[in-house]
Amino acid sequence: MELISVQQLVSGDRYEGTVRAFEVLARGAAQEPEGWRRGVAGVRDAVSEEKQKVKEERRKKLEMLSSSRVRLESLQDLEDIVRLRKHKKSRKRVVRPKEPEPPVTAEPVDAARFLQAVLENQVHTIDKYLADGGDPNAHDQFRCTALHWACLRGHAEIVDKLLAVGARLEPRDMLEATPVLWACRGGHLEILQRLLDRGAKISTRDKLRSTALHVAVRTGHCDCAEHLIACGAEINAQDKEGDTPIHDAIRLGRFKAVKTLLMYGANLSIRNQEALRPMDLVKDWQRGIRQTLQACADRQRPPRQH
**Domain-embedded: residue 58:** no
Residue-by-residue pLDDT tens, the chain, 306 positions: 455 554 554 455 544 544 454 454 445 444 445 544 455 566 677 778 888 888 888 888 777 766 655 555 566 666 777 777 777 666 655 555 545 555 556 688 899 999 999 999 999 999 999 999 999 999 999 999 999 999 999 999 999 999 999 999 999 999 999 999 999 999 999 999 999 999 999 999 999 999 999 999 999 999 999 999 999 999 999 999 999 999 999 999 998 999 999 999 999 999 999 999 998 898 878 777 888 888 888 888 776 665
**Domain-embedded: residue 18:** no
Please indicate, yes or no, whether residues 220 and 295 belong to a single structural domain of this protein.
Answer: yes
CA 74-76-80 angle, to 5 degrees, is: 125
Residues written for the chain:
306
Please indicate, yes or no, whether residues 231 and 154 belong to a single structural domain of this protein.
Answer: no
**Domain-embedded: residue 73:** no
Q: How many CA atoms lie within 13 A of 168 on its CB side?
A: 13
Please indicate, yes or no, whether residues 160 and 251 belong to a single structural domain of this protein.
Answer: no
**Domain-embedded: residue 80:** no
Please indicate, yes or no, whether residues 300 and 212 belong to a single structural domain of this protein.
Answer: yes
Please indicate, yes or no, whether residues 219 and 133 belong to a single structural domain of this protein.
Answer: no
Number of domains in the chain: 2
**Domain-embedded: residue 76:** no
Q: Which domain covers residue 147, as residue numbers?
A: 104-182
Return the exposure string of 156-174: e unless at least 16 CB atoms fall within 10 Å of the residue's CB, then b: eebbebbbeeebeeebbbe
Give the CATH number of the domain where residue 238 resides: 1.25.40.20
Contact status, residue 298 vs residue 290, Cβ threshold 8 Å:
no
pTM more than 0.85: no
Please indicate, yes or no, whether residues 209 and 306 belong to a single structural domain of this protein.
Answer: yes
Domain limit, last residue, from 128, 151, 182? 182
Q: How many CA atoms lie within 13 A of 211 on its CB side?
A: 23
pLDDT of residue 154: 95
Please indicate, yes or no, whether residues 165 and 217 belong to a single structural domain of this protein.
Answer: no
Please indicate, yes or no, whether residues 167 and 123 belong to a single structural domain of this protein.
Answer: yes
pLDDT of residue 117: 94
Neighbours of 223 (CB within 10 A): 13
Please indicate, yes or no, whether residues 209 and 136 belong to a single structural domain of this protein.
Answer: no
**What CA–CA distance (Å, rounded) separates 245 from 258?**
9
pLDDT of residue 294: 81
**Domain-embedded: residue 285:** yes
**What CA–CA distance (Å, rounded) separates 74 from 80?**
10
pLDDT of residue 244: 97
**Domain-embedded: residue 193:** no
pLDDT of residue 50: 83
**What CA–CA distance (Å, rounded) separates 226 from 264?**
9
Q: Which residues make beta-bridge pairs with 145? A: 139
**What CA–CA distance (Å, rounded) separates 43 from 45?**
5
**What CA–CA distance (Å, rounded) separates 210 from 241?**
10
pLDDT of residue 96: 56
- Which region, left, alpha or beta, applies to residue 55 given φ > 0 means left and ψ of -120 to 50 means alpha? alpha
